[in-house]
Structure 1
Amino acid sequence: MKIGIIGTGNMGSIIMEALLEAKAIPPSSLYIYNRTLEKAVQHQKNYPQITVCQSNGELIETCDLIFICVKPKQSYPLLQQHQQLFTRQKCVVSITSPISTDQLESVVSSSCIRMIPSITNRALSGITLFTFGNCCEKEWKEYLWTTMKMISTPIEIEENITRVASDIVSCGPAFFSYLTRKFINGAVNQTEIDETKATILASEMLIGLGELLKKKIYTLPTLQEKVCVKGGITGEGIRVLEDEIGEMFEKLFQATHEKFAEDLTITKNQFG
């Protein structure tokens, strides 16, 4: 099977590197294309057996499975321009949340899947979100599910929770990275610890926290209870968080959904 990736930006590169590292696909089966060819060629230097295509059309015509890793507003022109190349035997995987599988199926006759990855997949971890098109062949569903299981935990989601699920899985690492940096800065500004040491401590704490949750030693509520002794120091810190956070996360999801609504308007105008 020949697998193609159109767009080797952040997420396209993450999918490519994770699949190759996990040996989910052989490098000789991978074809890539990027509008700036130099970026694609750079990947070929790291993985000499992959093939760099000279155009979208060349990749689509050559490959059986095509990952479309471009910005939402760039997807429709790409699909429309090469509509005849997306034959029924092929599978199209879009990684952008504002484009539904129904919209994909309205343009191409291939099996259509929306797959929302996470940067955590690069560590062969985290979640991959799936929505399968109504006309998607069973063989493609099984292949993608099995393949992505090698680099993540695949979960199928309904259309109505696409944005919030993506916020948690895909945007979440950036949100919590930002909060962790603020946590570190607070420690540096208020105490004698330096940023390097505080960063090491905070990073290792997060890794340990992840392991506790992964091994199901504690749930989030029981973990807090175990650390937060009544009348202790942790309790004072929790009290500050309760006072200061307020409706911050509610506002965060409001903001992401408002931007999502703008993107939906653009894609609806394109797809009709």
Structure 2
Amino acid sequence: MNVGFIGIGSMGSLLIDSFIGSGALKPSQITASNRTISKAKILAERHPGLLVAASNREAAFGSDIVFLCIKPLEFKKVIEELRGTLQPHQIIVSITSPVLLSQLEDWLPCKVAKIIPSITNYLFCGATLCMFGRRITDADKHLLNSMLSHISTPLAIEEQHTRIVSDLSSCGPAFMAFVLQKFIDAAVEETGIPRDEALIIASAMLSGTGQLLTEGGMTPETLQSRVAVPGGITAKALALLDRELDGVFNAVIRATHAKYNEDLEHVAVSLYGKEVNGS
């Protein structure tokens, strides 16, 4: 199996590193192109045998699966390049959430799918969220899920839920890291504990908490009840958090959805023009 990657920014390079590191793919099975070709050459030095393509068409030609790891407004240019090269049996996999499956199927003659990876895939854990176009067969789904299962737990979702599941799975690690950072900052400021020490302790705590919520079978509610004794220190702090954070994550979700809706509109205008959206 040959796999092409178009775009090797943060997430594109993470996927390549993870697929190779997990044994899902050998470097010789991968061809990569990038707007800045020097980045592709650096990646090839890190993974000897990986092929650097001089163009997007070259990366796609002969590949069974082609990952599009590009920004929303780059899509029209890239798919215009590819539409004359791609064959019906090939699978295009987009990792760009505001580009819809129906739009890809309008523009391309091949099979299409969409995934939402996560930075947690770098350590072969977390979820990869999967959506499949109408031309994808059960055999294609099996192929993609087999690849992705090396680096994650593949989960099929409905495209209409793209944004909220992305918030939870893909953006979530950054949100939780931000909360942990603020917790550590406060610990250092209030008590003088060395920051390195606080970071080690808090990071180990977060890792263990994640295991309790997955392998341990606990829910967030049961975990809190097991730790917090009524009238105790933890219970008092949880009551303060409940007051102070009331509505915060609702506002976070509204903000991500507002940006997503803007991106949806911009992509549609880019691909079809304003008149398609009634503007």
Where does residue 221 of structure 1 map in the other structure? 221
SS in 2 for 1:136: coil
CA distance in 2, matches of 1:153, 1:82: 30
Deviation, 1:86, is 1.4
Alignment of structure 1 residues 13-24 onto 2, 5 Å: 13-24=13-24
Normalising by structure 2, we get a TM-score of 0.95
**Letter of the aligned partner of 1:165 in structure 2?**
V
Q: C-alpha deviations, 1:158-213, integer Å up to 9, x for none? A: 12211000111100011111111001011111112121111111001011111212
SS in 1 for 2:107: coil
Mapped pair 1:76 → 2:68: no
Where does residue 88 of structure 1 map in the other structure? 88
Deviation, 1:139, is 2.3
**Letter of the aligned partner of 1:125 in structure 2?**
C
CA distance in 2, matches of 1:136, 1:105: 11
| Larger deviation, residues 71-80 vs 134-143 | 134-143
CA distance in 1, matches of 2:138, 2:226: 46
CA distance in 2, matches of 1:52, 1:33: 6
Given that 2:33 and 2:54 are in contact with CA atoms closer than 8 Å, whether structure 1 keeps it comes out as yes
CA distance in 2, matches of 1:175, 1:18: 22
Alignment of structure 1 residues 155-166 onto 2, 5 Å: 155-166=155-166
CA distance in 1, matches of 2:79, 2:155: 26
Where does residue 99 of structure 2 map in the other structure? 99
Given that 2:56 and 2:81 are in contact with CA atoms closer than 8 Å, whether structure 1 keeps it comes out as no
Normalising by structure 1, we get a TM-score of 0.97
CA distance in 2, matches of 1:191, 1:57: 58
SS in 1 for 2:66: strand
CA RMSD after TM alignment: 1.0
Mapped pair 1:31 → 2:56: no
Mapped pair 1:203 → 2:203: yes
Where does residue 151 of structure 2 map in the other structure? 151
CA distance in 2, matches of 1:258, 1:73: 17
Where does residue 259 of structure 1 map in the other structure? 259
SS in 2 for 1:106: helix
Deviation, 1:217, is 4.1
SS in 2 for 1:58: helix
CA distance in 2, matches of 1:44, 1:160: 37
List runs of 5+ in structure 2 lacking aligned partners.
273-279
Alignment of structure 1 residues 98-117 onto 2, 5 Å: 98-117=98-117
Mapped pair 1:242 → 2:260: no
Q: C-alpha deviations, 1:11-51, integer Å up to 9, x for none? A: 00111011101101111111111111111111111111111
CA distance in 1, matches of 2:182, 2:60: 44
List runs of 5+ in structure 1 lacking aligned partners.
none
CA distance in 2, matches of 1:23, 1:227: 40
Q: Number of aligned pairs?
A: 272
Divergent runs of 4+, >6 A: none
CA distance in 1, matches of 2:219, 2:266: 40
Where does residue 277 of structure 2 map in the other structure? none
Mapped pair 1:167 → 2:167: yes
**Letter of the aligned partner of 1:263 in structure 2?**
D
CA distance in 2, matches of 1:89, 1:218: 44
